[in-house]
Amino acid sequence: MPSLISLLLVFCLGAVAPVAKGDGGVHRMKLQKMPMLLDDMANDEFRSQAREQVSLHGASVDVEGWGLGMTSERIQGGHPVPLINFLNSQYFTEISLGTPKQYFNVVLDTGSSNFWVPSTSCNSIACYLHKKYDSTASSSFKKNGSEFEIYYDSGAISGIISQDVLSIGDLTIKSQDFGEALVEPGLGWAFSKFDGILGLGFDTTSVNNIVPPFINMVERKLLDKPIFSFRVGSSEEDAGEAVFGGIVDDHYKGEIHYVPVRRSGHWEVGLDSVRFGDDVLDLENTGAVIDTGYSLLGIPSDVAELINAQIGAQPSWTGQYTVECDTVPSLPDIGFKLGGRDYSLTSEDYILRVQQQCISSFQSFDSEVEQFWVLGSVFLRKYFTVFDYGSQEVGFAITARA
């Protein structure tokens, strides 16, 4: 019988496809990393219509004072909070809602835009196994009551919209709209170690047009700069940090190179080509979604099959591909060309060692509308990343290890 950890590695948050029903400063927040089931929730089609200009909740943003186009030296600073890492597969942070505070662990997900936690009114098995929000226990709760539904590969999350005070690190966002999940079907949600999801995407991809917490931070001038950054760790001892409103020098090495956002409204950049060993695949009209909520490398199924065959990976009953661990050092590198620069991963980067198994991170991922790949934590562990909302760019640099 497979271990529970093996089962957990079948589930992955990844990019999601939401469908609707019905005083300044730099702030860091605590992230914790726990086991993510590596493949169910990896199918964000990013279908929402993109905006042509940056706006917040329908209002244009005055970005003159934000220092757009600035180099990393002009936006240093922050208050780091450590991450906790389990199996290099899932990262979450502790937040609180309400008065007095009710605490939850939520995935910080650049592949989605909605924020939700389980409700005390939820009767799903997953809700019984996680912390739940109790609106009757909060004096700052405000009723909304409109319904929402978000579709993931592992099942649709549905519930009602509510409003309360959200605290993230040392930031407090009053009157934050969020989802109270009333239905969380499937074992994927039950096995997960996080309670909910806090989307870091744009409001244009948000179900019910709910303003995401990060957008509220920017709109309400809670941050020095309209950015956030991730240093994703690779061990329990060095799990990484997330920073809102700034960049920390010791999170990266060398220079940060910025790539323009390819589609307005999405943390997606142009993917010029992919190199695997000596083979190069030139691409046209293809994007790479930079997804902090996804554990693997999501690539077109035909390419995934070819690469997995080339590295000698064999499919298991879970749908994962495994390789013989003694072959890992001899496997070729893979490189992703973003903004004219090659960002490479070695076999030690893209093969996950879990207990006595070596699991390929190349996962089939097909979009019916847009052609894009998904670069999750396998990529982000090696490359420090800056998400610049003001200039609509994503910055990359080599991650500095503690």
At residue 169 the predicted structure's pLDDT band, cuts being 50, 70 and 90, is confident
Q: Give the mean pLDDT of 321-326.
A: 96
Q: What are the beta bridge partners of residue 106?
A: 93, 196
Q: Let me know: does 108 contact 194? Beta carbons within 8 Å.
A: no
At residue 19 the predicted structure's pLDDT band, cuts being 50, 70 and 90, is very low
Q: Let me know: does 377 contact 345? Beta carbons within 8 Å.
A: no
Q: What are the beta bridge partners of residue 307?
A: none
Three-class DSSP category at 271: strand
Three-class DSSP category at 353: strand
Task: Tell me what pLDDT residue 80 has.
Answer: 61
Q: Let me know: does 73 contact 46? Beta carbons within 8 Å.
A: no
* DSSP result, 281-335: EE-SS-EEEE-TT--SEEE-HHHHHHHHHHTT-EE-TTS-EEE-GGGGGGSPPEE
CA distances in angstroms from 328 to 116, 166, 362, listed in the order given = 39, 44, 14
Residues 244-279 have pLDDT tens digits of 999 988 899 999 999 999 987 889 999 999 999 999
pLDDT at 332 over 60: yes
pLDDT at 34 over 50: no
Task: Tell me what pLDDT residue 39 has.
Answer: 35
> How much is the mean pLDDT over the chain?
82
Query: Distance between CA 170 and CA 81 in Å, rounded?
Result: 10
Task: Tell me what pLDDT residue 127 has.
Answer: 95
pLDDT at 164 over 50: yes
What share of the chain has pLDDT > 90, as a percent? 60
Q: Respond yes or no: is residue 250 known to be catalytic.
A: no
* Closest listed residue to residue 134, CA positions, set 108, 96, 170: 96
- Residue found under tokens 């298991």: 316
Task: Tell me what pLDDT residue 186 has.
Answer: 84
At residue 155 the predicted structure's pLDDT band, cuts being 50, 70 and 90, is confident
Three-class DSSP category at 50: coil
Backbone angles phi and psi of 74, in degrees to 5: -95, -5
Q: Give the mean pLDDT of 90-113.
A: 92
Query: Distance between CA 111 and CA 294 in Å, rounded?
Result: 8
Q: Let me know: does 246 contact 228? Beta carbons within 8 Å.
A: no
Residue of 39, 109, 195, 203 with catalytic role: 109
pLDDT at 79 over 70: no
- Residue found under tokens 């070695």: 346
Residues 110-134 have pLDDT tens digits of 999 999 999 999 999 999 999 999 9
Q: What torsion, rounded to 10 degrees, do the Cα atoms 262, 263, 268, 274 define?
A: -50
Query: Distance between CA 359 and CA 15 in Å, rounded?
Result: 21
Q: Give the mean pLDDT of 40-52.
A: 32
Least confident of 33-37, 81-85, 300-304: 33-37
pLDDT at 239 over 90: no
pLDDT at 45 over 50: no
Structure tokens at 306: 């070819």
At residue 154 the predicted structure's pLDDT band, cuts being 50, 70 and 90, is low
Task: Tell me what pLDDT residue 153 has.
Answer: 64
Task: Tell me what pLDDT residue 156 has.
Answer: 86
pLDDT at 13 over 60: no
Residue of 39, 195, 291, 388 with catalytic role: 291
Residues 182-224 have pLDDT tens digits of 999 988 889 888 999 999 999 988 999 999 999 999 999 988 8
Task: Tell me what pLDDT residue 76 has.
Answer: 58
Least confident of 6-20, 46-60, 144-158, 382-396: 46-60
Q: Name, in order, each residue with C-beta under 8 angstroms of 123's C-beta and a sequence gap of 6 or more.
A: none
Task: Tell me what pLDDT residue 268 has.
Answer: 97
Task: Tell me what pLDDT residue 234 has.
Answer: 87
Three-class DSSP category at 125: helix
pLDDT at 14 over 50: no
Q: Respond yes or no: is residue 279 known to be catalytic.
A: no
In the chain the first and final C-alpha atoms are separated, in Å, by 37
pLDDT at 61 over 70: no
Q: Which domains does the chain have, with CATH numbers?
A: 27-36+80-222 (2.40.70.10), 248-399 (2.40.70.10)
pLDDT at 229 over 90: yes
Q: How many CB atoms are located within 10 Å of the residue 210 CB?
A: 26
Across the chain, which distance is largest between two alpha carbons, in Å? Answer: 62
